[in-house]
Amino acid sequence: MERRKFIQSMFAATAVAAIATPTTIFAEEAKKKTAKKGPNDMTFDEAVKAITEGKEVKDSDKIKLTVPEIAENGAVVPVKVEVDYPMTEKESVTAIHILNTANGNARCADVMLTPANDKAYFATRVKLSKTQEVVALVALSDGSFIKAGKSVKVTIGGCG
């Protein structure tokens, strides 16, 4: 019996896969789902625009972003950001924004820092729905923005 069931289920699985092979359909459906459901959804580009107000964002190696390469559980992904930039009254890091590229809401956390922090550092844990990039967008006191991104492979998504 068990063997029969197993073979049957195998056939069923291949049949389903054959019907819905175009992966684009899957992707579109997933997009629609996330777009409909979330209460305050925002795509990555919109979020960047809202933060920078259209200003240029440069990639920089001053930001040290630490994320795991492979996250087995997408519900808990540790993120650590360190910025090699002075924190004085004259020039400082004013904000660290943690963004993701594929969740329904691209914003994870906005952290406003002051010179009392002494060193620009922030650590937290975020949820990632699937394999995507985590981006740290850093605002400097002179009004410019720098960013650094790293992709995280997620085996099990963390957004229910």
Partner 1 sequence: MAEARKAMIKIKPKKYKVGDTVKVDFIVIHPMDTGMQKDKKTGKIKPAHYIDNITFSFEGKPFTTMKVWESVSTNPYFSVNYKITGKGKITVDYTDNQGEKNSKSKKVKPKE
Three-state SS at 138: strand
160 is an interface residue for partner 1 by CB under 8 A: yes
Asked if 92 is part of the footprint of partner 1 (rule: CB under 8 A), the reply reads no
Q: Which of 7, 32, 125, 151 binds partner 1 (CB under 8 A)?
A: 125
Q: Where does this chain touch partner 1 (CB under 8 A) — which range of 5-13, 52-60, 102-110, 139-147?
A: 102-110
- Find the part of the chain contacting partner 1 (CB under 8 A) among 1-9, 33-41, 64-72, 143-151: 33-41
Q: Which two tokens stand for residue 69?
A: 């390469």
Q: How far apart are the first and last CA of the chain?
A: 34
List the x/- string, 47-86, binding to partner 1 by CB under 8 A: ----------------------------xxx---------
Q: Which of 94, 105, 141, 144 binds partner 1 (CB under 8 A)?
A: 105
CA distance 28 to 136: 27
| Segment contacting partner 1 by CB under 8 A, of 54-62, 63-71, 114-122, 137-145 | 114-122
Minimum CB distance to partner 1 smaller for 57 or for 111: 111
Least spacing, CB of residue 140 vs partner 1, in Å: 17
The answer to whether the CB of 84 falls within 8 A of the CB of 109 is: no
d(CA 154, CA 69): 9
Question: Does 38 participate in binding partner 1 (rule CB under 8 A)?
Answer: yes
- Rounded Cα gap, residues 83 and 144, in angstroms: 14
Q: Who contacts 103 (Cβ-Cβ below 8 Å, separation ≥6)? A: 34, 127, 128, 129, 132, 159
Rg over alpha carbons for the chain, rounded to the nearest Å, is: 20
Please report, as ranges, the residues that interact with partner 1 according to CB under 8 A.
37-40, 75-77, 100, 103-105, 107-114, 116-128, 158-160
